[in-house]
Structure 1
Amino acid sequence: MKYHALIILLAASVLVNVYFLGVAPVSSGTDLRELQNRILTLEQENADLLARVQQGSMTVQEVSPETDLSTLPAQAGAPAVTEPGSVIDGGATLQAPVIVQQIEYVRDYPFIRQQVTEGGSLVNISVEVVPGKGRVLVQTTPLMGVVFQDAANTAVSVAREQSDANLSGNDVIFSVVADSAVSEIDGPSAGALMTALLLAVLEDRPVNGSVTLTGTIDEQGRVGEVGGVVEKAKAAKANGKDLILLPHENSRYIQYRDVVRTIAGLRLTFKQPEQIDTKEYIEEEIGIRVEYVDGIDDVMLYIT
C-alpha cells in the first residue's frame, strides 16, 4: 500500500509542475525567479519520489517466491541473500528398499478370497537444498502418505542439528521415484536414509551408491526397528547392492520351521518359531553383507 501512496504523490507533484508552468500567472521578474526555483525544487522531489517507487518495486521482487534470489543485486540496507551458515545448492541420491504389497484374488470354491503377498523393491530417493523459505517439500511419483511426510520432517530436523546448518533461508526437497508396481509411498522406514542423504549434502560428502539401508529416525538421531528386512535385503541384492544397513533392534529374526509330532497315532505338523541372527541368515541365505547401526553417526560411516 505504501508504494501506491508514493505513486499518487508522484502524480500529484507532476500536476503541480503543470500548473506552475501553464496556469499560474506571472506578475514580475521576482515572481518568475521564485517560480523557477520552485520548479527546480519540485523536479528534485519528483526524482526522489521516482527513486523511492523503483526501490519499493525491487524490494517486492526480491521476496517474490517466483524470483531466483541469487540473480538479484543486493539493496542498500537489505539483508544479503547468503548469510554465514547458509547452504548452497546441492543434491544427493540413494536407492531405498521398500515393501510392496500385492493383492491377489484366489478361487477357493465356491468362494473367491483375497490374498495379500509382500515383496521387496527399491525406490530412488533424492534430496536437494535450494534457496527458499525453510520448507520441507516432498514430491513422489506414486501417492504419498502422511507418515512418510512426518519422517521427512524429522530427517531434516536431525540433519540440521547434526550439521549446525542454518536452513531458514533454504527449502529441502525430497523426491521419490518408484516403478509402476509401487502405488503409494508411506511409512517411516526411509527416515534414516533421508537423514543421511541430507547430511551428506550439508557436509559436502560423497554418497556410496553400493550401500542402502532401512530404519526409522527419531529426534535424537537414533535408528529404529522396521519390518520386512529379509524381503528388503533380497531387493537390495537383486539390484546390485553390496551392503545393507539394518537397525540393531532388527538383529534377531524369527524363522518358522516345521516340527512333526505324532499324537494318538496321528502325524501332525506344526510351525514352530525360532529366533536366529538376522545378519547371519541374510548373509548366508541371500548373499549380501549386513551391518547393524544404532544412530545416524553409525550410518554416515558407511554411506559416505
Structure 2
Amino acid sequence: MSRRSRTLIWGAVPVVLLTGLVSFESIPGTDISLTVPYAAEGPGPTFNTLGDVEGEEVVEISGAEIDEVAGNLNMTTVSVRSGMTLPQVIGRWLTTGDTLVPLEQVFPPNLSPEEVRESNEIAFSTSEAAATVAAMNYLGLPVQVEVAGVLEGVAAEGLVEPGDVILSVDGNEVSEPGQVRSAVLGKAPGESVALAIRRGEEEQTLDIELGEHPQDAAVGFLGITMSSASATGVEVEYNLEDIGGPSAGMMFSLAVVDKLSPGELNGGHFVAGTGTIDEDGGVGPIGGIVHKVAAAEDIGAEVFLAPSANCAEATSRGHGELIILKVDSLREAIDQMDAYANGGDYITCE
C-alpha cells in the first residue's frame, strides 16, 4: 500500500468520528454545545380561515347573520427549525428548499425565550385586532376596543381585565387598538397613562404607571393585548393557537368580510395568501414568502395573494401553475379575487 493511500484511509477516520460526534447536541458527558447558530426556514402548515380547526371555526363570528362561504382562503406559515448540529444543517441545505438564516434573525440575542414568546403573542393579537377593524371599516360597521388579555408581571396586571372596553386614553376617545398603542408608545417607562374603561355597565378611569417595553427599555409598556369588536354587537374570535407574528392579518380580514357580506369573495376557488394588515386596510410585506408560496402550491391552491412589496421574492422560485396576485390593500385583494373568478383583468406578480 502506498503512502498516499494510507493517508486517505487514516485521514477518513477523524471525519467519520467527527460526523458521529456532532450528531449529538452536546459532547457526551459535557455541557459543551455542538449546535450551530443557524435556523432553517421552510414551508409550514396552512389553515383555511373559512374552515374549522380541532372542532372550532378558525374565524368565529356571533351577533350577526353569517353568509354561506365556499372554497378556501388559506393563511400560510413558515416553519422554523433551530438547535441543529452541523450535519443536520448540511442535510437540510442539500435535501430541502429550506433557507438558512442566522439564529439571531429569528431569536434576538437580547431577548429571553419568554420575551420572544410574549412579543410573538402581542404581534399575533395585534394582527387579529387590525384584521377585525379593517373588515369592519370595509363593511361600514362601527367598532370599539376591547381588552383581550393581560400579560403576567406588567403594569396593567390587577387593574385591567379581559373584556374591559377602552373608551379613552388621557382624555382622548379611542375606537381602534392602534390609537391606544400609539398613546402608550409615546410615553416613557414610569410615566402614567389615564385609561377610561367600561366594565359591564360601570365606567371608570384607571391611572397606570407604565413599565418597560420588552423590546425597547426607553418605551412605555402597558402589557395588554387588545381586540376590536363591533359596537353593534358583532363579535369576532380567532381560534388558532401556537401561531405567532402578524402575517395572517390580511387572510383573517378577508374571512371576516366573506362571512359578513353576500356572495363568495373567492368565487368558490382555492385561494391562499399572506400579508400584514393595518386598521385602514393596507396590506404590508412579510418574511419567508417563498416558503409560503411553496406551501400553497403543495396543498393545491389555484391563487396566491401576495403583498406587492414581496412580489420579486414570491416569484423567485418555480411555483407551477399557481397564480400569484399582487395586492396592496384589503379592497384590492377582494377586487383581484373577483376579477380572477369572473374572467376580469387581474394583476400578477410576474
TM-score class, shorter-chain normalisation, is: 0.3 to 0.5
Max Rg structure? 1
Name whichever structure is richer in helix by fraction. 1
Larger RCO: 1 or 2 (CA < 8 Å, sep 6+)? 2
